[in-house]
Amino acid sequence: MSAEFTGERVIPGLVDVDLWNEHFSRYTFAARLARRKRVLHVGCGAGYGTNELALTARDAIGVDVGADAIAYAREHYVRDNLRYELGSATELPFADATFDLVVAFEVIEHLEEWSKLLTEARRVLAPGGQLVVSTPNKLYYAESREQSGPNPFHTHEFEIEEFRAALAEVFPHVSMFLENHAESIVFQPESGASGAEVRLEGRTGNANESHFFLAVCANELQTGAPAYLFVPSSANVLRERERHIQRLATELTTKDQWLQTEQTKHQELLRVHDQTVAELQAANNWAQTTNQSLRTSQERVAELQDEITKQQNAAAEAVAGYEAELKRLEMEKAEVVTWAEAKSLEWDAALESANQELQRCLEKLHESEALVEERTLWAQGLDREIEALREQIATVRHSKWIRLGQRLGVGPTV
C-alpha cells in the first residue's frame, strides 16, 4: 500500500530530510526508555516510530484513528513483538495499568479534547510507568508559519508554561526537554566509532526560542535528565549547504533565462495591453451610449407598462361592469321569461275564450245576415207592393171618375 504526504503524517521517503530527522530523532530518544518494556505508541501514523521503539521494547503496540495509516504500518513494518491497532487517543482500547511506557509525539495539538490524552495515558500506565509526549512551541511555530498561515491540522498549540502546567495537573513528576535543530561539529572515526562523547556549550536552552517541547512524565520520582544528541547520517551540514548553494545557483541561472524570456513576453503583453485598452475604451464609449439608449428604452418600457397596467385595470373594471350588467340582464330575462310564460298561459286562455266568443259572434252574424237577407227580401217585396200601390194611386188620381167625384164632392179622398 502506498501513502501520500499531506502535512498531517510523516511518510518515510516522501518528506524533506530535515523534517524526517526532526521526527525520527524523538523515537531514538524514547527508545532509550523503552528497553524491555511494554510500550504503547499513541498516534503511530505510518508506523516507523513504533518500529524503532520495538527494537528495544519487550512489546510495542501502535494505535491510530486512521485506517489507511494502520494498513500502511502493518504492510511496511513487521516484527514478532510489534502490532498495530485502530483506536482513538482520547479513548484508548486497553485495560488499566497495561503498559510501562506510553509515547505520544505531535499528537496532543491535533485533539479537541487534548486533556483526555493525558488522563488516558495515566490510566493505562502501570506503576512506575512513564509518558513521553511532545508538541510544537506555539511562539516559534507562529513565527515560522507567518507566511503560510496556521497549520490546518492543529486545534490547540502550547507555550512552554501552559504545556508544563497541563502535564503537571495529571503527572506529579515532569522532566521538560527542548528539541532544536542545532549546528554541531562532529569528529567521527573513518572506520567506525566505538562510542561517543558529547560536549554541550551552555547548561540551559531558551524555551521561548525552542522548536519543540518534549516531556517525560511519571507518577513516581524520576532521576536524571541527560541531554540527548541525535546525529543523522546526513549531518555534514557544510557539504549539504554547498550542494544547496550550487542548486540555488543553477536555479538562479535558469530563473534569469526565464526572466529574460518573460521580459520579452512582457513587452509584447504591454503592447497587446495598450491595444486592448484602446479597444476597451472604444467599447466603453459604445457601451455608455448603448446604456443611455437602454435606459431611455427602459424608461419608455416602464411608462408603457404603467399605461398597460392602467388599461388592464380599466378593462378589468369594464369587464366587471359588463359581467354585472350581463348578470342583471340575465336575471331580468329570467323574470321576463317567467312572466311571459305566465302571461302566455293567461293569453292562451283569453284567446280561447275570444275564439269561442268570435265563434258565437260569427254564428250571430250568420243569423243576422240571414235575417237581414230575409228582411231585405221582405223590404224589397214591400217596395214592390208600395210601387204597385203608388201606381194604383196614380191611376186613381188620374181617373176621370175620381176627378169628377172630387168636383162633385163625392167619392174617396186620395
pLDDT in tens, 373-385: 887 788 788 888 8
Strand order in the sheet with 173-179: 82-86, 59-64, 38-42, 99-105, 125-136, 212-218, 173-179
**pLDDT for residue 203:** 58
Digit-coded pLDDT (tens) for 259-293: 888 888 888 888 888 898 888 888 888 888 888 88
3-state secondary structure of 136: strand
Of the candidate ranges 13-22, 38-47, 249-258, the one whose mean pLDDT is the lowest: 13-22
Smallest Cα–Cα separation from 131: which of 24, 30, 26?
30
Q: Examine residue 180 and state whether it is found in any structural domain, yes or no.
A: yes
**pLDDT for residue 217:** 92
Q: Where is 233: in which H helix or E strand? A: none
Instruction: Give the chain's domain count.
Output: 1
How far apart, in whole angstroms, are the C-alpha atoms of residue 76 and residue 382?
A: 166
Name the grid cell of 83.
Answer: 502490532
Smallest Cα–Cα separation from 215: which of 132, 115, 326, 329?
132
Q: How does DSSP classify residue 153?
A: T
Q: Examine residue 305 and state whether it is found in any structural domain, yes or no.
A: no
CB count within 10 Å of CB 383 equals 10
Q: Examine residue 269 and state whether it is found in any structural domain, yes or no.
A: no
How far apart, in whole angstroms, are the C-alpha atoms of residue 194 and residue 408?
A: 225
Residues 6+ apart with CB under 8 A from 96: 123, 124
Residue 388 has phi, psi (to 5 degrees) of -70, -40
pLDDT band at 63 (very low <50, low <70, confident <90, very high): very high
Domain that residue 134 falls in? 17-235
**pLDDT for residue 127:** 94
Q: Examine residue 59 and state whether it is found in any structural domain, yes or no.
A: yes
Global pTM reads 0.57
pLDDT at 341 > cutoff 70: yes
Instruction: Yes or no: say if 125 and 97 are a contact pair by the CB < 8 Å rule.
Output: yes
CATH classification at residue 160: 3.40.50.150
Smallest Cα–Cα separation from 169: which of 131, 224, 115, 106?
115
Instruction: Yes or no: say if 170 and 211 are a contact pair by the CB < 8 Å rule.
Output: no
Q: Examine residue 362 and state whether it is found in any structural domain, yes or no.
A: no
Q: Where are the alpha helices (DSSP H) in 90-204?
A: 115-124, 138-144, 160-170
Of the candidate ranges 168-177, 244-253, 323-332, 351-360, the one whose mean pLDDT is the lowest: 244-253
Q: Examine residue 50 and state whether it is found in any structural domain, yes or no.
A: yes
Rg (CA), the chain: 67
3-state secondary structure of 94: coil
Q: Examine residue 302 and state whether it is found in any structural domain, yes or no.
A: no
Q: Examine residue 349 and state whether it is found in any structural domain, yes or no.
A: no
Name the grid cell of 352.
Answer: 280561447
